[in-house]
Amino acid sequence: MSTTDRVPGSHAGAGASEPVRASDVLANGSVPAHVACVMDGNGRWASARGLPRTDGHAAGEAALLDAVEGALELGISWLTMYAFSTENWRRPADEVRYLMGFNESLLARRRDELHDKGVRIRFAGRRDWRVPRRVLKRMDESIALTEHNRRMTLTMAFNYGGRAEIVDAVRRLVADGVPASKVDERAIRSRLYFPDQPDPDLVVRTSGEHRISNFLLWELAYSELLFTDVLWPDFRREHLFAAVVEFQRRQRRYGGVT
């Protein structure tokens, strides 16, 4: 990726451009219906401050809530956040334990606030034996509380893997007895975790890493990708606004010509 794929105005300090405002973004063009974020860089943010990695995750909560606020200001209907991957179980046991408790307490702390704002909360991922029951319980409570909200759908990708999602869809195809001649993109798509959800228009990954890391592999086929050096705990709605302005500059061709 070239540096033009980075978020403009995202670097604090001398020479940084003015923060982008929601009104600028809305005046500039249409906003993506679905934005997905890889919230990366919490550990590095903490290490740079001499803090344990877990403090970085804790600091990421404010960034998450501010990104949700920003998305609401722009009228973004779908926001998907990568909170824990099927590969993140490989992290040190203490960190995994912390992340399970953190995600549970984050829901307990924030679900009423998100509900009041008209946000529907959903979870994409596997509900397998590794996810503690108390976390599943909190997830179910959050889903039930917010299920009728439609202002925005916030999907937390939790114990999520793009390959696992495709495997699960194929398992459903087989379980449904679909013959090989009837297997097409529609048949697979309709068996993904949330077939009602449009594919992401824009994916933002923070922390300077230029990878997809098993996020939404099927759904990202034609998404615009944007990478920023900002570490997740420093991410604020202005970075989202700047990312959307960059998105508005892109020409999407879906394999055709303009």
Could you give the residue numbers annotated as active site? Answer: 40, 88
User: x-or-dash pattern for ligand FPP, window 65-104, by CB under 6 A?
Assistant: -----------------xxxx-xx----------x-----
Please give the Cα distance from 53 to 174 (Å, whole number): 42
235 binds ligand FPP (CB under 6 A): no
By CB under 6 A, name the one of 10, 25, 32, 42 that touches ligand FPP.
42
20 binds ligand FPP (CB under 6 A): no
Please give the Cα distance from 19 to 128 (Å, whole number): 42
64 binds ligand FPP (CB under 6 A): yes
CB 218 within 8 A of CB 195: no
For ligand FPP, which residue has the nearest CB?
Answer: 60
Q: How far is the CB of 177 from ligand FPP (least distance, A)?
A: 34
Q: How far is the CB of 87 from ligand FPP (least distance, A)?
A: 6
Residue 75: name the closest of 157, 155, 153 by CA.
153
Please give the Cα distance from 185 to 214 (Å, whole number): 19
- Tokens 């397998």 belong to 128
Please give the Cα distance from 71 to 255 (Å, whole number): 28
Residues 98-157 that bind ligand FPP (CB under 6 A): 99
The runs of H, that is alpha helices, within 75-122 are 93-116
Please give the Cα distance from 110 to 115 (Å, whole number): 9
Give the residue with the Cβ less far from ligand FPP, 64 or 240.
Answer: 64
Bridge-based pairing of strands 34-38 and 224-227 is unpaired
Give the residue with the Cβ less far from ligand FPP, 88 or 146.
Answer: 88
211 binds ligand FPP (CB under 6 A): yes
> Which residues sit at the interface with ligand FPP, rule CB under 6 A?
38-40, 42, 57, 60-61, 64, 82-85, 87-88, 99, 209, 211, 213
